[in-house]
Structure 1
Amino acid sequence: MIKALIILLNAQAAGQLNYVAGSFVWVEDPELAWIDGEIQDSKKDEVTIIFKSGTRVVSKSTNMYPKDPEFPPNGVEDMTKLAYLHEPGVLQNLKIRYSGNKIYTYTGNILIAVNPFQRLPHLTETSTMMKYKGAAFGEQSPHPFAIASSAYSKMINEKRSQSILVSGESGAGKTESTKMLMQYLAFLGGRAETEGRSVEQQVLEYNFSRFGKFVEIQFDQKGRISGAAIRTYLLERSRVCQVSNPERNYHCFYMLCAAPQEDVGKYKLEDPRKFHYLNQSSCIELDGVDDSKEYLATKRAMEVVGISSEEQDAIFRTVAAILHLGNVDLVNGVEEVLDSSQPKDEKSYFHLKTAAELLMCDEKSLEDSFCKRIMVTRGDTITKSLDPNSAALSRDALAKIIYSRLFDWIMCKINDTIGQDPKSNSLIGVLDIYGFESFKTNSFEQFCINLTNEKLQQHFNQHVFKMEQEEYKKEEIDWSYIEFVDNQDVIDLIEKKPVGIIALLDEACMFPRSTHETFAEKMYQTFIGKKRFNKPKLSRTDFTIKHYAGDVTYQTNLFLDKNKDYVIPEHATLLRASKCSFVSGLFPPSPQDATKSKKFSSIATQFKLQLQSLLETLNATEPHYIRCVKPNNVLKPRIFDNNNVLQQLRCGGVLEAIRISCAGYPTRKKFEEFVQRFSILEPEVLKSCRDGMTACKRILDRVDLKDYQIGKTKVFLRAGQMAELDACRAEALGRFATVIQRKFRTFLCQKQYILMQLSAIELQRVAKGVIYVNPLGLFEVFYYVINEILLHVDYIFFIKVFMLDVRYYYAVVDSTFMRSKFNVGKLARHQYECMRRKAACLKIQKDFLMHISRNAYKTIYASAIYIQIGLRGMVARKELRFRKRSLAAIVIQVLYRGYKDRTYFQRLKKATTFAVCSRKRALARRELRKLKMEAKTQENETLQQALQEKEVRLQEIVEAKTQETEKLKHALQEMQHQFQEIKEAKTHETEKLQHDLQEMKLQFQETKAVLIQEQAAKKVVEQPPTMQELVNSLEKKIVQELPTNVTNYELINKLTSENKHIKERIKLLEKKTSLQKLSANVTNNEFIHKLTSENEHLKEQISSLEKSMQDEFPINATHNELINKFHSENEHIKSSYSQLSPSQVCSLEISLRRHYHSRTSPSSSSHLWSLISNDLYHRDIVPTTPSLQASRHHTSTANFSSSLRL
């Protein structure tokens, strides 16, 4: 359809042309697509054309395109610069560039890449990447690096995400172009990243990607790569079980069969030709590809993306299990159950057992998953056996779902390894997806692929249209809306709800009894009358869709099965029960299984949603396009199939982009180029116009061309106007050529006429002179004249002049005889004389000719000899020179070879010396490093040993300090315990003394009372020691005893405070000791010294404390003795006072009070006296009376209160 539109558009323009003889045109050819020829004759509607092969055809003028006679021999880099932008012009340009290994060509901003099917290293070198880095678009030759550089620059400068869409059919080089793009983006972004190699190892032209992928490369604000993600679309599962000849299955199977013998034996593999999934095609090995090396490269790639060795082993076991599953042949079972199946023979059982071992599942369960189905009804479970065909389909379904889940796991692992940057706002997406596909058998996969290409083509058309409008705005020309073929009706036919093909397919999949026949019938009823939908006449289940690239007929046989996205429950249950965690992890329990949900899941619907998400991403970016083309189907280099390439250009939308360009102003020429080419139409324009725009306007006005546009830098012409200008130019060239030919021919004729005239005059002069002297002697000069003329004039011209002179001679002779006709005798004599003369003349001529011939022969002979001599001399001289030169060359060669050998020997000697020195240096450095390492090792060992010794020593010190600290702590605890016991003893003694003093006070009061009552009765008693002596002795005792008790209390307080201080020091020491134990490995002498000083200080404090205790404790130690002494003295005083009368006792008391009152403070004396009196009365020294007791009680109470206040 696109081709018809292009032909119609160009034919309308070509119909206005008048093809002239000598013009070159393109004519359609069934074998070569287009063939060029030259017009010999042109009529109204028919044109006679002759081809280079000599074939002559007659064609209509509407079925041909004009050919550019000035087409560059190497083609053009941008096809928008072609004079004629049509199919044959595009095809010619691509073919010429492909023959020169120039595989990349622009069509505006679109890059067309033709697969060379050979390695071209200069296209991927680092120097090539450096050349394109920072270069403006179009500054360098076409290349994917230029597209990537343009996208990167726009992302940095415009702060907008970019996308690069790589499309083409299988084998066109999409994946290689994608790799080059990511390699260059990693080069620009400063990170070697990229896409990890999956299990499907990629190799040059045989690298057919059977899945679509969209790679998002994320960049930070500085333009450096910060993350990446890979999204995949529509993996071709069916290739696992079915392979078309001569294609291969996925590369991983062949690589695993070519693995080292150890791995092959572990997985029980053998030659690929013995596996059913691989021997369906004759292509087993690829030229230039070593599967064993690719296996090792794949393992290294797995390590790069973070796949552990255990996971690698599980992956290869899973892949090997798939191969073994394919070799399980199934036949009818021996059971009485109808339509049962079982493995065919021992070989099938062996592969079944091997597959079960590799998957780590039960062999019987694996067999039942092929041959049986479990149907759950209300309250019952039914087991249904499958026939061999259904069981084989179940086996293939298991292989396909395992491979699909394995592929998804690897892609997730790659994404996890690469990592994404959630903060990135700039990205460049690279889309590598299938091209348009149309085969003899087109199934559900081709349907989804062509839907994708329809959506992408619509996006592509809108983008090309937008670029056209931007070009017009940039050049500031007037333009109107350009109409282009919109394929929205095809997209609506496929995916519109509720009457689209996908909606009908989902509806059919949800009904259990639906078949592909009912689905096809439903489509026929729904889409009848649709111009994009047709029903083939000879089929009841096929349907045809008119895509933008052509009609495609689809077979609905497997549409329903392939659209159902579910895993057979028996397969899922089997693999989830696998003992291999990797295999069971490929089939995690889904939410639908957990909730028993039966919601239908459709592959087509999921794919449509994925496609919608992809287009949303692409619409948010600025797209760039790369169209990959496969030049031939035999995958050989330097073969360019015109029809194949032309079909791909139509399918890839390149010609549609050209058609959109043709709908506007397809021909665009810069002012300089236009004036240089068409200045012949207005010769004066070069002299009078210095401005290119004005010159272009004058030329176009001269031709009277309409509907053109002149921009700021270019001339924009409609389709066909360039051909019209070329026709005018050819016509002008024809007119000028005629004038030039006429002038040149006139010049040649004038030159020949002048030469003939001069020759005739010369002949006439000679002939006239001979005739008048000797009329018959004219023939004597003929030989001379002939030779002279032959030397100067051509033969034809000489004949003409000779005939003229002969006629003149006969006229002269006739006139002579007429004058002498009356003289007969004279005439006879004259006749005789003439005869004699004639005979003599003949003899003379004979002799003369003989002489001339002999002389000529001698001359020729002499000349030949001379020439021979000269030639032989020249040959001899040449031979001599050659010999001399050969000798000189030999001498030079000898000298040069000697010099070369000496130089080579010197270089070799130097290189040997250098190599020996380098080797010695290397050995010396190695020995030095070895010695250094040994010294360092020995030093390290010494230091380690010293460190260990220090650690041991430090540990011993710490342990000693710890033990010493424990001892000190224990000693302090014992001292504290002693202090507590002493404190308790002192308290008890103090209480006892107070109790004794109270008792003495009471006794003293009683004694005093008794003494007062008995004073009169005991006057005659013997006088005891004087009162003054008793008082002094009692005062002395009290003064000695009372400070002892006070000192004991002060000592207890002092010891208590010191005990607390010691406890605090011990706690601090324990804390430091614990810290030092934790960092014992990093201790040093300073810490040891500090610990030692702390210990010494503690020892000094303990020794000073012990000393002070030794100084103080004797007082306390003798306290019991003093108390005993005090008791004994009290007994003595009591016995002394027992002899006193009451009056004496009272006087003693009064004197004591006065004495202590005068020497101490009132409170102290009262307190002291109360103690003495209480002690006296308590000891019953003084008798008691009621009045005395009352007085004593009042006095003691007051004194006791004052003592309490003190």
Structure 2
Amino acid sequence: ATSFIGILDVFGFEIMRHNSFEQLCINFANEALQQQFNQMVFVHEQDQYRREGLDTAVVSFRDNQPIIDLIAGKVDGILPLLESAARLNTLATADRFVRSVHNKHERHANYVRPRGDQAEFTVKHFAGDVLYDAEEFIVKNNDALQGDLVELFAVNSSVFVANILGTRPSDEQEDGEPGFVPRRSSLFAAQGSDTLAKAAENGDGVDLPDAPENGAGPPKRGSRIHKARRRLQSEEVQGRRVQGRVAAAAAKRGNAGQLAGNKTVSLKFRQQVKNLCDTLTATQPHYIKCIKPNNVKAATAFGPRLVAQQLRYAGVLEVVRIRREGYPSRMNYFDFYAKYEMLIPYKERQAMKSVADCRAQGDAAAARAASEKIAHLVLDASDAEKEFQLGGTLLFLRDNGLDKMDAAVREFYAGHASAINACARRFIAVMRYRAARRRVIRAQAFFRMAVLTLRLRRQRRAARCIQERVKTTQAAAQYKAMKANAVPIQALFRRGLAQKRFSKASRERAGAVAAQSLVRGFLHRRAAAKKRREWGAAQVITG
């Protein structure tokens, strides 16, 4: 057998505004690949359940085989009906083809006949309903060349073109001349590959060269042998394509018998999809589902509707449904025991083997018994079979069962965290109380000191007041005594002073009287003299 690594990159499911023959082929391929993918997941789940001794009836498989039969059924599928319409040559029309499809599948659960007489029909795919326009189905399925090109190629004298078209006898063709296409049988015999022969019988061409018989392994990439094989493969594929187009063009001109002997696009496509599914079934496929977060190619931008649509089209939601209907969470007993050991009561846990001892001794029975005990403690005993099952080496949990286990762990840690928080808060409260007590004591001491200080100050002020009163009384008594002694002295002194003032005033009065009398006399004399002069003048005037 040949060992190889293949990478298959296919179009995703397509639902466009206008869906034609290309979308039907692409969606048919996706239906077939989705069925193969679902079967792989389903079979893998059942095999694991069977190995662990569980009931495999818990997992249901939603098969899309009716949709595949609707599109590619051997007798009355849409694509076989299209191929039958192609054999009618000029009599085939889109309306006749659509009417035949309506007559065959009008009551099919996955087929919807639209209202009106349009050449359209709807197929209910696993990813959604798709409305197909069948106007160009027959033309695209025939894929014929124009008649002028066929006639031009037929009269061409080039050996290369004649070899490709097959108009030159095979016995005249020689290896190494331009356009030489080796016969498939000789090529497959040289390669010694049953897989390639089967592919040739199905019309699928050369895909994977086998290793040489001497066990030297496949030729290295870039070597002369590798390049020669690649050239032969490309020439053969190109030759088959041109021959198919030539035959289609000849049939378009009226050669219906020649057209019936050639394969249409849908027939070749169905064979290729079948061969692809056979190859995937015979190998160990690994799937990568690429999800585009947005249509604008922007960073950190997420379109929920676009992502949900891609998940539905890629069949991821169907896989999730298959896993959720069974037991999606599974753990071996040692890991389960280690993760949920704390849920066993402390006294019972002391009497059981620890996880470390079970691992060291390889005691799977003890780990299984402990895991079963933990599961029964957390999960409802009446629904135990629905919530979990015990396998040979694994414990299987439902989705909600795992949630309950995790909730129990959170509750366990929350309870212990509450106790730890209580102790921590008590310690913090005690420390705060002690610190507050020390602060209160210091405050009380300071307050007492302040009260005593104020009291001392009041006492000092009172003492000073008393002293002042005493001193004032003594000073008043002394003052009264001194005053009593000073009054006679002051009286004698004042009398002497009064006598002096009186004598002085008497002298001054006498002088003032004398001066006044002199001044008054002078004034009276001057006034008398003035009057005399005035009387004399008056007498002179009158006389």
What range is the shorter-chain TM-score in? 0.5 to 0.7
Which residue does 1:658 correspond to in 2?
320
Partner of 1:776: 455
Q: Is the 8 A contact 1:544 1:552 kept in 2?
A: yes
Work out the CA distance in 2 between the residues paired with 1:438 and 1:507: 26
- Does the Cα contact within 8 Å between 1:631 and 1:639 map onto a contact in 2? no
The aligned runs of 1:601-616 (5 Å cut-off) are: 601=262, 602-616=264-278
- Shift in Å, 1:717: 0.7
CA contact (8 A) 2:87 2:256 kept: no
Aligned pairs for 1:209-288 (under 5 A) are 218=2
Instruction: Indicate the SS of the match to 2:399.
Output: coil
Counterpart Cα distance in 1 of 2:72 and 2:417: 63
In structure 1, what residue type is equivalent to 2:377? R
Q: Distance in 2 between matches of 1:513 and 1:675?
A: 74
SS in 2 for 1:493: helix
Contact 1:564 1:603 in 2 (8 A): yes
- SS of aligned partner of 1:715: strand
For the residues of structure 1 that align with 2:404 and 2:87, how far apart are their CA atoms?
Answer: 62
Offset of 1:703 from its aligned partner? 0.7
Q: Which residue does 2:331 correspond to in 1?
A: 669
Residue 1160 of structure 1 aligns with which residue? none
Matched AA of 1:734: A
Compute the displacement of 1:753 (Å).
2.4
With CA pairs under 8 Å and 6+ residues apart, which has the higher RCO, 1 or 2?
2
Specify the SS of the correspondent of 1:701: helix
**1:499 counterpart residue number:** 76
In the alignment, which residue of structure 1 is the partner of 2:118?
540
1:699 to 367, 374, 385: 374
Change (3 A) 1:631 1:716: same
Query: Does the aligned pair in 2 maintain the 1:494–1:500 contact within 8 Å?
Result: yes
Equivalences for 1:728-767 in 2 at 5 Å?
728-764=408-444
Q: Which amino acid aligns with 1:833?
A: A
In structure 2, the residue matched to 1:300 is: none
Q: Secondary structure at the match of 1:486?
A: coil
| Mapped partners of 1:830, 1:770: distance in 2 | 14
Q: Residue 575 of structure 1: SS of its match in structure 2?
A: helix
Q: TM-score, normalised by structure 2?
A: 0.57
Letter in 2 for 1:699: I
Q: Secondary structure of the equivalent of 1:604?
A: helix
Residues 596, 664 of structure 1: alpha-carbon distance in 2 compared, 3 angstrom cutoff: closer
1: distance between equivalents of 2:124 and 2:94?
Answer: 21
Change over 3 Å in CA distance of 1:624–1:585 after alignment to 2: same
Equivalent residue in structure 2 for 1:470, among 40, 47, 50: 47
After superposition, give the CA deviation of every residue in 1:890-915 in whole Å (9 maximum; x if it has no partner).
xxxxxxxxxxxxxxxxxxxxxxxxxx
Partner residue, 2:25? 448
User: 2:33 & 2:117 partners in 1: Cα distance?
Assistant: 30
* Cα 1:729–1:536 shift into 2, 3 Å: farther
1:802-841 Cα offsets, whole Å, 9 max, x none, are xxxxxxxxxxxxxxxxxxxxxxxxxxx989839979xxxx
Matches within 5 A, 1:150-165: none
Would you say the 8 A contact 1:627–1:652 is kept in 2? no
Q: TM-score, normalised by structure 1?
A: 0.27
Cα deviation 1:181-201 (Å, max 9, x = unaligned)? xxxxxxxxxxxxxxxxxxxxx
Asked if 1 retains the 8 angstrom alpha-carbon contact of 2:78 and 2:101, the reply is yes
Deviations 1:310-352 (A, max 9, x none): xxxxxxxxxxxxxxxxxxxxxxxxxxxxxxxxxxxxxxxxxxx
Cα offset for 1:629? 1.5
1:689 partnered with 2:344: no
| Mapped partners of 1:514, 1:666: distance in 2 | 52
In 2, Cα distance between the equivalents of 1:766 and 1:695?
Answer: 65
Counterparts of 2:459 and 2:300 in 1: how far apart (Å)? 90
- Which ranges in structure 2 are unaligned for 5 or more consecutive residues? 168-242, 359-366, 467-543
* 2-structure distance, mates of 1:598, 1:758: 111
How far 1:719 sits from its partner (Å)?
2.3
Matched AA of 1:562: K
Provide the residue aligned with 1:678 in structure 2: 340
> Where does 1:507-906 land on structure 2 (aligned, <5 Å)?
507-511=84-88, 512-535=90-113, 540-589=118-167, 597-598=257-258, 600=260, 601=262, 602-619=264-281, 621-629=282-290, 631=292, 641=302, 643=304, 644-682=306-344, 684=346, 687=350, 688-690=352-354, 691=358, 692-705=367-380, 706-707=384-385, 708-764=388-444, 776-777=455-456, 833=462
Task: Give deviations 1:926-954, integer Å, cap 9, x for gaps.
Answer: xxxxxxxxxxxxxxxxxxxxxxxxxxxxx
Q: Tell whether the 8 Å contact from 2:86 to 2:92 is kept in structure 1 after alignment.
A: yes
Change (3 A) 1:666 1:640: farther
**In structure 2, what is the Cα distance between the partners aligned to 1:596 and 1:701?**
74
CA distance in 2, matches of 1:641, 1:770: 71
Q: Is the 8 A contact 2:123 2:131 kept in 1?
A: yes
Write the letter of the residue equivalent to 1:624.
P
Q: Secondary structure at the match of 1:716?
A: strand
In structure 1, how many angstroms separate the alpha carbons of the residues matched to 2:428 and 2:454? 37
Shift of residue 489, structure 1, vs aligned partner: 0.9
Q: C-alpha displacement at 1:505, in angstroms?
A: 2.2
Write out per-residue CA displacement over residues 443-465 of structure 1, whole angstroms, 9 at most, x where no aligned residue: 21221122122122222222222
Q: Which amino acid aligns with 2:134?
A: T
One-letter identity of the residue aligned with 1:714 = L
Change over 3 Å in CA distance of 1:835–1:450 after alignment to 2: farther
Cα 1:747–1:456, aligned 2, differ >3 Å: closer, same or farther? same
Q: Tell me the CA shift for residue 767 of structure 1.
A: 5.0
Cα gap change, 1:650 to 1:755, in 2 (>3 Å): same
Distance (Å, rounded) in 2 between the aligned partners of 1:498 and 1:450: 20
Aligned to 1:931: none
Give the superposition deviation at 1:433: 4.1
Which residue identity lines up with residue 371 of structure 2 in the other structure? Answer: C
Structure 2 residue identity aligned to 1:716: F
Query: Which is richer in strand?
Result: 1
Equivalent position of 2:479 in the other structure:
none
Q: 1:834 to 1:440 in 2, by over 3 A?
A: farther
Q: Report the CA distance between 1:667 and its aligned residue.
A: 0.9
Query: Percent identity at matched positions?
Result: 30
CA distance in 2: counterparts of 1:836 and 1:582, whole angstroms: 141
- Shift in alpha-carbon separation, 1:473–1:499, aligned structure 2, 3 A: closer
Shift of 1:613: 4.1
- Secondary structure of the residue aligned to 1:572 is helix
Measured in 2, the distance between the counterparts of 1:648 and 1:754 equals 65
**Residue 486 of structure 1: CA displacement?**
0.3
- CA gap 1:770/1:438 in 2 versus in 1, 3 angstroms: closer
- In structure 1, list runs of 5 or more residues that go unmatched: 1-160, 162-217, 220-426, 781-828, 838-1206
Q: Aligned-pair distance for 1:676?
A: 4.4
